[in-house]
Amino acid sequence: MRPFSSVCACVCSFFVITVSAPAADWSASGMILTPAGILADGTLSISDGRIVTIGPSATTHGTNTPVKLPGIILPGFIDLHDHLTWNVQPRWLPSRKFLNRYEWQDAAEYDRVLYNPHYAAMNTVSCEAEIYAEIKALAGGATSSLGGLLKNDKYPDNQKCVAGLVRNLDTDSGFSHPTSDSACPTAKAETDRTLLDVVENEIFPLELTHDRFDYLLCALGNRTLRGLVVHLSEGANADSAAHREYSMLSKEILLGGKDGKTPIVRDGLALIHGTALRDADFLGLKASNVGLIWSPRSNDELYGSTTNIASARLAGIDIAIAPDWSPSGSAGMLQEMGYALRRYGIASGDLMSMATSTPAKLVRISDYIGALAPTKFADFVVINVTIDPTKTNPLDPVAKATPADVALVVIGGQPVYGDTKLLTQLLPNTKLDALKVCGADKMVDLTSTAAKDKNWGLDDIKNHLKKALETLGTSLAEIECD
Protein backbone atom coordinates (compact mmCIF):
# COMPACT_ATOMS: atom_id res chain seq x y z
CA MET A 1 0.00 0.00 0.00
CA ARG A 2 0.95 3.62 -0.53
CA PRO A 3 2.67 5.39 2.41
CA PHE A 4 0.36 7.54 4.52
CA SER A 5 0.28 11.12 3.30
CA SER A 6 1.15 14.01 5.58
CA VAL A 7 -1.90 15.66 7.09
CA CYS A 8 -2.65 19.35 7.34
CA ALA A 9 -4.18 21.16 10.31
CA CYS A 10 -7.92 21.68 10.28
CA VAL A 11 -10.85 22.09 12.64
CA CYS A 12 -14.27 20.71 11.70
CA SER A 13 -17.55 20.33 13.56
CA PHE A 14 -17.08 16.75 14.69
CA PHE A 15 -13.37 16.06 14.38
CA VAL A 16 -10.18 17.98 14.94
CA ILE A 17 -7.06 17.42 12.88
CA THR A 18 -3.80 19.00 13.89
CA VAL A 19 -1.39 16.48 12.47
CA SER A 20 1.86 17.23 10.70
CA ALA A 21 3.48 13.82 10.76
CA PRO A 22 6.09 11.86 8.86
CA ALA A 23 4.62 9.67 6.13
CA ALA A 24 4.51 6.48 8.21
CA ASP A 25 3.71 7.92 11.68
CA TRP A 26 0.43 9.31 12.98
CA SER A 27 -2.00 8.99 15.86
CA ALA A 28 -5.77 8.78 16.24
CA SER A 29 -7.92 9.38 19.28
CA GLY A 30 -11.53 8.82 20.26
CA MET A 31 -13.64 6.00 21.64
CA ILE A 32 -11.79 2.72 20.92
CA LEU A 33 -12.82 -0.92 21.22
CA THR A 34 -9.82 -2.74 22.69
CA PRO A 35 -9.46 -6.40 23.74
CA ALA A 36 -10.10 -5.23 27.32
CA GLY A 37 -13.30 -3.39 26.42
CA ILE A 38 -14.41 0.07 25.33
CA LEU A 39 -11.93 2.85 26.00
CA ALA A 40 -14.03 6.01 26.20
CA ASP A 41 -11.16 8.41 25.48
CA GLY A 42 -8.22 6.60 23.97
CA THR A 43 -5.32 7.19 21.63
CA LEU A 44 -3.56 4.78 19.31
CA SER A 45 -0.29 5.64 17.63
CA ILE A 46 0.81 4.15 14.32
CA SER A 47 4.24 3.67 12.83
CA ASP A 48 5.12 1.84 9.64
CA GLY A 49 1.60 0.49 9.32
CA ARG A 50 1.40 -1.03 12.82
CA ILE A 51 -0.04 0.02 16.14
CA VAL A 52 2.76 1.09 18.47
CA THR A 53 0.82 2.18 21.55
CA ILE A 54 -2.82 2.24 22.61
CA GLY A 55 -4.33 3.45 25.85
CA PRO A 56 -6.08 6.34 27.62
CA SER A 57 -5.39 9.66 25.91
CA ALA A 58 -4.10 11.16 29.15
CA THR A 59 -1.31 8.59 29.36
CA THR A 60 -0.66 7.63 25.72
CA HIS A 61 1.46 9.98 23.68
CA GLY A 62 2.46 9.42 20.08
CA THR A 63 4.98 11.44 18.12
CA ASN A 64 2.19 13.59 16.63
CA THR A 65 -0.92 15.40 17.74
CA PRO A 66 -3.67 12.81 17.28
CA VAL A 67 -6.53 12.96 14.80
CA LYS A 68 -9.77 13.12 16.76
CA LEU A 69 -12.20 10.62 15.20
CA PRO A 70 -16.00 10.47 15.60
CA GLY A 71 -18.10 7.59 16.88
CA ILE A 72 -16.10 4.49 17.75
CA ILE A 73 -12.85 3.04 16.42
CA LEU A 74 -13.14 -0.72 15.85
CA PRO A 75 -10.88 -3.48 14.53
CA GLY A 76 -11.36 -3.85 10.78
CA PHE A 77 -13.91 -6.50 9.80
CA ILE A 78 -12.45 -9.73 8.36
CA ASP A 79 -14.55 -11.29 5.59
CA LEU A 80 -13.63 -14.97 5.25
CA HIS A 81 -16.40 -15.83 2.79
CA ASP A 82 -17.00 -13.85 -0.35
CA HIS A 83 -16.97 -14.09 -4.15
CA LEU A 84 -16.01 -10.53 -4.90
CA THR A 85 -16.30 -10.17 -8.66
CA TRP A 86 -19.86 -11.54 -8.56
CA ASN A 87 -20.86 -8.57 -6.40
CA VAL A 88 -21.08 -6.23 -9.37
CA GLN A 89 -24.37 -7.92 -10.32
CA PRO A 90 -27.80 -7.09 -8.83
CA ARG A 91 -29.63 -9.22 -6.30
CA TRP A 92 -30.96 -12.54 -7.50
CA LEU A 93 -34.43 -13.41 -6.27
CA PRO A 94 -34.83 -17.08 -7.26
CA SER A 95 -38.30 -18.32 -8.05
CA ARG A 96 -38.01 -21.15 -5.51
CA LYS A 97 -35.90 -22.53 -2.68
CA PHE A 98 -33.30 -25.20 -3.37
CA LEU A 99 -32.17 -28.38 -1.66
CA ASN A 100 -28.42 -27.74 -2.05
CA ARG A 101 -25.90 -25.66 -3.95
CA TYR A 102 -25.61 -28.14 -6.81
CA GLU A 103 -29.30 -27.75 -7.56
CA TRP A 104 -29.24 -23.99 -8.07
CA GLN A 105 -25.90 -24.12 -9.84
CA ASP A 106 -27.52 -26.46 -12.39
CA ALA A 107 -30.64 -24.30 -12.78
CA ALA A 108 -31.29 -22.53 -16.09
CA GLU A 109 -32.44 -19.50 -14.10
CA TYR A 110 -29.04 -19.18 -12.41
CA ASP A 111 -27.24 -19.59 -15.73
CA ARG A 112 -29.33 -16.85 -17.32
CA VAL A 113 -29.33 -14.35 -14.46
CA LEU A 114 -25.84 -14.74 -12.96
CA TYR A 115 -23.48 -17.37 -14.37
CA ASN A 116 -23.46 -16.51 -18.06
CA PRO A 117 -23.27 -12.70 -17.57
CA HIS A 118 -20.53 -13.08 -14.98
CA TYR A 119 -18.16 -15.17 -17.06
CA ALA A 120 -18.84 -13.25 -20.24
CA ALA A 121 -18.16 -9.93 -18.47
CA MET A 122 -15.00 -11.19 -16.79
CA ASN A 123 -13.36 -11.59 -20.19
CA THR A 124 -13.26 -7.80 -20.52
CA VAL A 125 -13.88 -6.12 -17.14
CA SER A 126 -12.42 -8.42 -14.49
CA CYS A 127 -10.13 -5.70 -13.18
CA GLU A 128 -12.95 -3.17 -12.91
CA ALA A 129 -15.13 -5.78 -11.19
CA GLU A 130 -12.47 -6.48 -8.56
CA ILE A 131 -11.96 -2.80 -7.77
CA TYR A 132 -15.68 -2.03 -7.57
CA ALA A 133 -16.35 -5.09 -5.41
CA GLU A 134 -13.61 -4.07 -3.00
CA ILE A 135 -15.15 -0.60 -2.71
CA LYS A 136 -18.38 -2.35 -1.71
CA ALA A 137 -16.40 -4.33 0.87
CA LEU A 138 -14.88 -1.13 2.28
CA ALA A 139 -18.33 0.45 2.47
CA GLY A 140 -19.34 -2.41 4.77
CA GLY A 141 -16.30 -1.94 7.01
CA ALA A 142 -14.16 -4.82 5.72
CA THR A 143 -10.39 -4.44 5.81
CA SER A 144 -9.62 -8.06 4.80
CA SER A 145 -11.35 -10.53 2.52
CA LEU A 146 -11.18 -13.82 0.66
CA GLY A 147 -12.52 -14.75 -2.74
CA GLY A 148 -11.29 -12.09 -5.14
CA LEU A 149 -9.22 -12.43 -8.29
CA LEU A 150 -6.23 -14.75 -8.09
CA LYS A 151 -2.87 -14.29 -9.73
CA ASN A 152 -3.28 -17.50 -11.69
CA ASP A 153 -6.77 -16.78 -13.00
CA LYS A 154 -7.25 -16.82 -16.76
CA TYR A 155 -8.56 -13.27 -16.98
CA PRO A 156 -6.35 -10.43 -18.28
CA ASP A 157 -4.69 -7.92 -15.98
CA ASN A 158 -5.12 -10.03 -12.85
CA GLN A 159 -1.48 -9.68 -11.85
CA LYS A 160 -2.06 -5.95 -11.38
CA CYS A 161 -5.59 -6.15 -10.04
CA VAL A 162 -5.16 -8.62 -7.19
CA ALA A 163 -3.30 -6.02 -5.11
CA GLY A 164 -6.44 -4.12 -4.36
CA LEU A 165 -7.99 -1.93 -1.71
CA VAL A 166 -8.56 -4.50 1.04
CA ARG A 167 -6.18 -7.20 2.28
CA ASN A 168 -6.75 -10.20 0.05
CA LEU A 169 -5.79 -12.96 2.47
CA ASP A 170 -5.68 -15.65 -0.19
CA THR A 171 -3.47 -13.84 -2.66
CA ASP A 172 -2.09 -10.47 -1.49
CA SER A 173 -2.29 -10.15 2.30
CA GLY A 174 0.81 -8.07 2.85
CA PHE A 175 1.87 -10.55 5.56
CA SER A 176 5.19 -12.33 5.41
CA HIS A 177 4.78 -15.96 4.34
CA PRO A 178 6.55 -18.73 2.43
CA THR A 179 5.05 -19.74 -0.90
CA SER A 180 5.79 -23.44 -0.52
CA ASP A 181 6.74 -26.07 2.03
CA SER A 182 9.44 -28.51 0.92
CA ALA A 183 8.85 -30.64 4.03
CA CYS A 184 5.45 -31.67 2.74
CA PRO A 185 5.32 -34.59 0.27
CA THR A 186 3.60 -34.19 -3.05
CA ALA A 187 3.52 -36.06 -6.32
CA LYS A 188 3.55 -32.90 -8.44
CA ALA A 189 5.98 -30.41 -7.00
CA GLU A 190 5.53 -27.91 -9.81
CA THR A 191 1.87 -27.37 -8.92
CA ASP A 192 1.05 -28.92 -5.56
CA ARG A 193 3.68 -27.06 -3.54
CA THR A 194 2.32 -23.65 -4.43
CA LEU A 195 0.69 -21.50 -1.75
CA LEU A 196 -0.78 -18.21 -2.91
CA ASP A 197 -0.81 -16.54 0.50
CA VAL A 198 -1.65 -17.08 4.17
CA VAL A 199 -5.16 -18.55 3.64
CA GLU A 200 -6.27 -21.15 1.11
CA ASN A 201 -9.88 -20.81 -0.06
CA GLU A 202 -11.44 -23.97 -1.52
CA ILE A 203 -14.96 -23.73 -2.91
CA PHE A 204 -15.17 -27.39 -3.98
CA PRO A 205 -12.81 -29.23 -1.62
CA LEU A 206 -14.05 -32.67 -2.58
CA GLU A 207 -12.83 -32.04 -6.13
CA LEU A 208 -9.22 -31.53 -5.04
CA THR A 209 -6.73 -34.23 -5.91
CA HIS A 210 -5.52 -36.30 -2.98
CA ASP A 211 -2.02 -34.97 -3.56
CA ARG A 212 -3.17 -31.38 -3.28
CA PHE A 213 -5.32 -31.99 -0.22
CA ASP A 214 -2.53 -33.89 1.53
CA TYR A 215 -0.11 -31.08 0.74
CA LEU A 216 -2.46 -28.40 2.09
CA LEU A 217 -3.04 -30.34 5.31
CA CYS A 218 0.70 -30.82 5.72
CA ALA A 219 1.37 -27.12 5.15
CA LEU A 220 -1.43 -26.31 7.58
CA GLY A 221 0.18 -28.55 10.19
CA ASN A 222 3.55 -26.89 9.64
CA ARG A 223 1.93 -23.42 9.77
CA THR A 224 3.41 -22.61 6.39
CA LEU A 225 -0.26 -22.17 5.56
CA ARG A 226 -2.08 -20.23 8.26
CA GLY A 227 -5.66 -21.10 7.34
CA LEU A 228 -7.66 -23.43 5.10
CA VAL A 229 -11.34 -22.63 4.55
CA VAL A 230 -13.60 -25.04 2.67
CA HIS A 231 -17.18 -24.70 1.49
CA LEU A 232 -19.04 -27.72 2.82
CA SER A 233 -22.51 -29.13 3.52
CA GLU A 234 -24.35 -26.22 1.91
CA GLY A 235 -28.05 -26.80 1.46
CA ALA A 236 -31.33 -27.23 3.29
CA ASN A 237 -31.06 -28.44 6.87
CA ALA A 238 -32.39 -31.92 6.09
CA ASP A 239 -30.68 -32.40 2.72
CA SER A 240 -28.85 -35.72 2.88
CA ALA A 241 -26.57 -34.97 -0.07
CA ALA A 242 -25.25 -31.82 1.59
CA HIS A 243 -24.76 -33.69 4.85
CA ARG A 244 -22.93 -36.46 3.00
CA GLU A 245 -20.17 -33.98 2.14
CA TYR A 246 -19.33 -33.62 5.80
CA SER A 247 -19.34 -37.40 6.32
CA MET A 248 -16.89 -37.81 3.45
CA LEU A 249 -14.58 -35.02 4.59
CA SER A 250 -14.58 -36.03 8.25
CA LYS A 251 -13.48 -39.57 7.41
CA GLU A 252 -10.78 -38.15 5.17
CA ILE A 253 -9.22 -35.47 7.37
CA LEU A 254 -10.86 -35.24 10.81
CA LEU A 255 -10.68 -38.83 12.01
CA GLY A 256 -7.65 -41.07 12.40
CA GLY A 257 -5.89 -43.34 14.86
CA LYS A 258 -5.94 -47.11 14.91
CA ASP A 259 -9.71 -47.20 15.20
CA GLY A 260 -10.26 -44.61 12.49
CA LYS A 261 -12.45 -42.64 14.88
CA THR A 262 -10.06 -40.59 16.99
CA PRO A 263 -10.50 -36.86 16.28
CA ILE A 264 -7.47 -35.20 14.69
CA VAL A 265 -6.89 -31.61 15.76
CA ARG A 266 -6.88 -29.40 12.67
CA ASP A 267 -5.94 -25.92 13.82
CA GLY A 268 -6.50 -23.39 11.05
CA LEU A 269 -9.27 -25.33 9.29
CA ALA A 270 -12.74 -23.77 9.03
CA LEU A 271 -15.91 -24.83 7.26
CA ILE A 272 -18.06 -22.36 5.33
CA HIS A 273 -21.85 -22.85 5.56
CA GLY A 274 -22.41 -26.22 7.30
CA THR A 275 -26.17 -25.72 6.93
CA ALA A 276 -26.85 -29.46 6.81
CA LEU A 277 -24.72 -30.31 9.86
CA ARG A 278 -26.30 -32.00 12.88
CA ASP A 279 -25.67 -31.88 16.61
CA ALA A 280 -23.12 -34.72 16.54
CA ASP A 281 -21.28 -33.06 13.66
CA PHE A 282 -20.82 -29.85 15.62
CA LEU A 283 -19.40 -31.84 18.51
CA GLY A 284 -17.01 -33.50 16.07
CA LEU A 285 -15.87 -30.13 14.75
CA LYS A 286 -15.24 -28.94 18.27
CA ALA A 287 -13.21 -32.05 19.09
CA SER A 288 -11.02 -31.37 16.05
CA ASN A 289 -10.80 -27.62 16.79
CA VAL A 290 -12.38 -26.80 13.43
CA GLY A 291 -14.20 -23.48 13.08
CA LEU A 292 -17.34 -22.41 11.26
CA ILE A 293 -18.01 -19.45 8.95
CA TRP A 294 -21.69 -18.48 8.97
CA SER A 295 -23.51 -16.67 6.13
CA PRO A 296 -27.15 -16.62 7.26
CA ARG A 297 -28.72 -14.27 4.74
CA SER A 298 -27.61 -16.18 1.66
CA ASN A 299 -28.63 -19.47 3.26
CA ASP A 300 -32.10 -18.14 4.03
CA GLU A 301 -32.53 -16.74 0.52
CA LEU A 302 -31.46 -19.93 -1.26
CA TYR A 303 -32.61 -22.71 1.08
CA GLY A 304 -35.17 -21.16 3.41
CA SER A 305 -33.02 -21.92 6.46
CA THR A 306 -29.50 -21.56 7.75
CA THR A 307 -26.99 -23.37 9.94
CA ASN A 308 -28.30 -24.56 13.32
CA ILE A 309 -26.36 -21.77 14.94
CA ALA A 310 -27.77 -22.49 18.41
CA SER A 311 -26.45 -26.06 18.27
CA ALA A 312 -23.08 -24.89 16.93
CA ARG A 313 -22.73 -22.35 19.73
CA LEU A 314 -23.80 -24.91 22.32
CA ALA A 315 -21.02 -27.19 21.08
CA GLY A 316 -18.54 -24.38 21.72
CA ILE A 317 -17.38 -23.95 18.12
CA ASP A 318 -15.63 -20.72 17.14
CA ILE A 319 -17.96 -19.02 14.64
CA ALA A 320 -17.19 -16.17 12.26
CA ILE A 321 -19.74 -14.27 10.19
CA ALA A 322 -19.38 -13.31 6.52
CA PRO A 323 -21.70 -12.13 3.72
CA ASP A 324 -21.07 -14.80 1.01
CA TRP A 325 -21.88 -12.56 -1.97
CA SER A 326 -24.33 -9.78 -2.65
CA PRO A 327 -26.55 -11.56 -5.25
CA SER A 328 -28.18 -13.63 -2.48
CA GLY A 329 -26.31 -12.57 0.68
CA SER A 330 -25.28 -9.16 1.95
CA ALA A 331 -23.29 -6.44 0.22
CA GLY A 332 -20.83 -6.25 3.11
CA MET A 333 -19.88 -7.26 6.61
CA LEU A 334 -21.81 -4.53 8.40
CA GLN A 335 -24.98 -5.41 6.50
CA GLU A 336 -24.60 -9.13 7.34
CA MET A 337 -24.09 -8.32 11.03
CA GLY A 338 -27.28 -6.26 10.96
CA TYR A 339 -29.16 -9.14 9.37
CA ALA A 340 -27.96 -11.59 12.04
CA LEU A 341 -29.02 -9.16 14.76
CA ARG A 342 -32.49 -8.63 13.32
CA ARG A 343 -33.23 -12.17 12.16
CA TYR A 344 -31.46 -14.31 14.76
CA GLY A 345 -31.03 -12.01 17.74
CA ILE A 346 -27.28 -12.54 18.03
CA ALA A 347 -25.93 -10.11 20.62
CA SER A 348 -24.01 -7.16 19.17
CA GLY A 349 -20.91 -7.92 21.24
CA ASP A 350 -20.87 -11.48 19.91
CA LEU A 351 -21.32 -10.21 16.36
CA MET A 352 -18.34 -7.90 16.79
CA SER A 353 -16.17 -10.85 17.81
CA MET A 354 -17.57 -12.91 14.91
CA ALA A 355 -16.42 -10.17 12.51
CA THR A 356 -12.98 -9.45 14.00
CA SER A 357 -11.14 -11.57 16.55
CA THR A 358 -12.82 -14.89 15.74
CA PRO A 359 -12.07 -14.96 12.00
CA ALA A 360 -8.48 -13.95 12.80
CA LYS A 361 -8.30 -16.86 15.25
CA LEU A 362 -9.87 -19.34 12.82
CA VAL A 363 -7.19 -18.80 10.18
CA ARG A 364 -4.41 -18.13 12.70
CA ILE A 365 -3.61 -14.56 11.79
CA SER A 366 -4.37 -13.09 15.22
CA ASP A 367 -0.75 -12.00 15.51
CA TYR A 368 -1.38 -9.67 12.55
CA ILE A 369 -4.98 -8.41 12.78
CA GLY A 370 -8.32 -8.98 14.52
CA ALA A 371 -7.89 -6.62 17.47
CA LEU A 372 -6.51 -3.17 18.21
CA ALA A 373 -3.35 -3.80 20.20
CA PRO A 374 0.37 -2.97 20.01
CA THR A 375 2.40 -4.73 17.26
CA LYS A 376 -0.70 -5.58 15.21
CA PHE A 377 -1.31 -3.98 11.84
CA ALA A 378 -3.31 -0.76 12.03
CA ASP A 379 -6.42 -2.08 10.30
CA PHE A 380 -9.48 -0.33 11.68
CA VAL A 381 -12.88 1.07 10.84
CA VAL A 382 -14.59 4.11 12.36
CA ILE A 383 -18.37 3.90 12.73
CA ASN A 384 -19.98 7.27 13.42
CA VAL A 385 -22.67 6.24 15.91
CA THR A 386 -23.33 7.21 19.51
CA ILE A 387 -22.08 4.64 22.01
CA ASP A 388 -22.99 4.51 25.69
CA PRO A 389 -20.43 2.22 27.40
CA THR A 390 -22.67 1.96 30.48
CA LYS A 391 -25.42 0.11 28.62
CA THR A 392 -25.84 -3.68 28.72
CA ASN A 393 -25.26 -3.99 24.97
CA PRO A 394 -23.23 -0.88 24.14
CA LEU A 395 -22.35 -2.06 20.64
CA ASP A 396 -25.97 -2.30 19.47
CA PRO A 397 -25.64 0.97 17.50
CA VAL A 398 -22.75 -0.58 15.54
CA ALA A 399 -24.73 -3.70 14.64
CA LYS A 400 -27.65 -1.48 13.60
CA ALA A 401 -25.47 0.89 11.56
CA THR A 402 -25.52 1.15 7.77
CA PRO A 403 -22.73 1.95 5.31
CA ALA A 404 -23.75 5.62 5.64
CA ASP A 405 -22.24 5.48 9.15
CA VAL A 406 -18.82 4.17 8.04
CA ALA A 407 -16.73 7.31 8.59
CA LEU A 408 -13.28 5.91 7.88
CA VAL A 409 -11.50 2.71 6.88
CA VAL A 410 -7.75 2.38 7.51
CA ILE A 411 -5.63 -0.56 6.32
CA GLY A 412 -2.02 -0.93 7.42
CA GLY A 413 -2.13 2.61 8.77
CA GLN A 414 -3.32 3.95 5.41
CA PRO A 415 -6.70 5.72 5.14
CA VAL A 416 -8.42 4.36 2.02
CA TYR A 417 -12.13 5.19 2.34
CA GLY A 418 -14.45 7.38 4.36
CA ASP A 419 -16.53 10.50 4.75
CA THR A 420 -15.66 13.20 2.25
CA LYS A 421 -14.58 15.84 4.78
CA LEU A 422 -12.48 13.44 6.81
CA LEU A 423 -10.69 11.67 3.96
CA THR A 424 -9.88 14.86 2.08
CA GLN A 425 -8.29 16.27 5.22
CA LEU A 426 -6.34 13.09 5.93
CA LEU A 427 -5.14 12.83 2.32
CA PRO A 428 -4.87 16.43 1.13
CA ASN A 429 -2.42 15.74 -1.68
CA THR A 430 -4.13 12.63 -3.07
CA LYS A 431 -6.56 12.41 -5.97
CA LEU A 432 -9.70 10.93 -4.46
CA ASP A 433 -12.88 9.63 -6.08
CA ALA A 434 -16.28 10.66 -4.80
CA LEU A 435 -19.30 8.41 -4.42
CA LYS A 436 -22.67 8.46 -2.71
CA VAL A 437 -23.38 5.57 -0.32
CA CYS A 438 -26.79 5.23 1.30
CA GLY A 439 -27.29 8.97 0.87
CA ALA A 440 -23.94 9.91 2.43
CA ASP A 441 -21.00 11.54 0.66
CA LYS A 442 -17.93 9.29 0.66
CA MET A 443 -14.53 9.21 -0.99
CA VAL A 444 -12.13 6.42 -1.88
CA ASP A 445 -8.43 6.40 -2.68
CA LEU A 446 -7.82 4.31 -5.80
CA THR A 447 -4.18 5.30 -6.28
CA SER A 448 -2.86 2.02 -4.85
CA THR A 449 -4.81 -0.03 -7.42
CA ALA A 450 -4.52 -0.78 -11.11
CA ALA A 451 -6.87 2.17 -11.67
CA LYS A 452 -3.89 4.50 -11.31
CA ASP A 453 -1.85 2.71 -13.99
CA LYS A 454 -4.82 2.73 -16.36
CA ASN A 455 -5.76 6.32 -15.54
CA TRP A 456 -9.23 5.23 -14.45
CA GLY A 457 -11.44 7.13 -12.08
CA LEU A 458 -14.39 5.54 -10.30
CA ASP A 459 -16.74 6.88 -12.97
CA ASP A 460 -14.65 5.13 -15.65
CA ILE A 461 -14.81 1.86 -13.73
CA LYS A 462 -18.57 2.08 -13.27
CA ASN A 463 -19.15 3.03 -16.89
CA HIS A 464 -17.08 0.10 -18.14
CA LEU A 465 -19.03 -2.28 -15.91
CA LYS A 466 -22.41 -0.82 -16.81
CA LYS A 467 -21.71 -1.09 -20.52
CA ALA A 468 -20.47 -4.69 -20.26
CA LEU A 469 -23.32 -5.85 -18.02
CA GLU A 470 -26.09 -4.07 -19.92
CA THR A 471 -24.85 -5.66 -23.14
CA LEU A 472 -25.34 -9.01 -21.39
CA GLY A 473 -28.87 -8.19 -20.25
CA THR A 474 -28.14 -7.28 -16.64
CA SER A 475 -27.07 -4.20 -14.67
CA LEU A 476 -24.49 -2.91 -12.21
CA ALA A 477 -25.43 -3.29 -8.55
CA GLU A 478 -25.38 -0.31 -6.26
CA ILE A 479 -24.03 -0.55 -2.70
CA GLU A 480 -26.97 -1.92 -0.71
CA CYS A 481 -27.68 -0.31 2.66
CA ASP A 482 -29.02 -3.32 4.57
- Contact (CB, 8 A) for 89 and 223: no
Residue 35 has pLDDT above 60, yes or no: yes
Of residues 11 and 424, more confidently modeled: 424
Residue 132 has pLDDT above 50, yes or no: yes
The Cα–Cα gap between 91 and 350 comes to 28
What's the pLDDT band for 291 if we cut at 50, 70, 90? very high
Closest CA to 143 of 332, 8, 300, 17: 332
Verify that 72 and 105 share a domain, yes or no. Answer: no
Q: Is residue 236 part of a domain?
A: yes
Q: Is residue 346 part of a domain?
A: yes
pLDDT digits (tens, 9 = 90+) for 244-264: 999 998 888 888 766 777 788
Phi and psi angles of residue 203, each rounded to the nearest 5 degrees, phi first: -80, -35
Strands (E), 175-278: 199-202, 227-232, 255-256, 262-263, 269-273
Mean pLDDT, residues 286-292 taken together: 96
What's the whole-number average pLDDT of the chain? Answer: 90
pLDDT more than 70, % of the chain:
92
Q: Is residue 339 part of a domain?
A: yes
Which of 362, 384, 411 is the endpoint of a domain? 362
The Cα–Cα gap between 453 and 73 comes to 32
For the packed helices 333-344 and 348-355, what is the interaxial angle rounded to 10 degrees? 150
Task: Provide the domain count of the chain.
Answer: 2
Q: Is residue 336 part of a domain?
A: yes
| The pLDDT value given to residue 177 | 87
| The pLDDT value given to residue 169 | 96
Verify that 310 and 340 share a domain, yes or no. Answer: yes
| The pLDDT value given to residue 453 | 83
Residue 192 has pLDDT above 90, yes or no: no
Q: Is residue 92 part of a domain?
A: no
Residue 5 has pLDDT above 50, yes or no: no
What's the pLDDT band for 6 if we cut at 50, 70, 90? very low
> Is the four-CA dihedral 436, 438, 443, 448 of positive or negative sign?
negative
Q: Is residue 434 part of a domain?
A: yes
Question: Which region among 60-64, 136-140, 217-221, 430-434 has the lowest average model confidence (pLDDT)?
Answer: 60-64
Residue 117 has pLDDT above 90, yes or no: yes
Residue 16 has pLDDT above 60, yes or no: no
Verify that 438 and 324 share a domain, yes or no. Answer: no
Global pTM value: 0.93
Verify that 230 and 346 share a domain, yes or no. Answer: yes
| The pLDDT value given to residue 18 | 32
Mean pLDDT, residues 187-216 taken together: 89
Residue 94 has pLDDT above 90, yes or no: yes
Verify that 270 and 336 share a domain, yes or no. Answer: yes
Verify that 307 and 336 share a domain, yes or no. Answer: yes
Verify that 66 and 107 share a domain, yes or no. Answer: no
Verify that 404 and 323 share a domain, yes or no. Answer: no
pLDDT more than 90, % of the chain:
78
Residue 400 has pLDDT above 90, yes or no: yes
Q: Which CATH number characterizes residue 294's domain?
A: 3.20.20.140
For the ranges 13-27, 148-162, 328-342, the one whose mean pLDDT is highest: 328-342
Verify that 294 and 386 share a domain, yes or no. Answer: no
Q: Is residue 300 part of a domain?
A: yes
Verify that 327 and 406 share a domain, yes or no. Answer: no
Q: Which CATH number characterizes residue 412's domain?
A: 2.30.40.10
Q: Is residue 156 part of a domain?
A: no
Verify that 332 and 263 share a domain, yes or no. Answer: yes
Verify that 223 and 331 share a domain, yes or no. Answer: yes
Its domain, for residue 20, covers 9-77+375-447
Closest CA to 83 of 105, 67, 62: 105
Number of Cα atoms under 13 Å in the Cβ half of residue 199: 33
| The pLDDT value given to residue 79 | 98
| The pLDDT value given to residue 7 | 32
| The pLDDT value given to residue 189 | 78
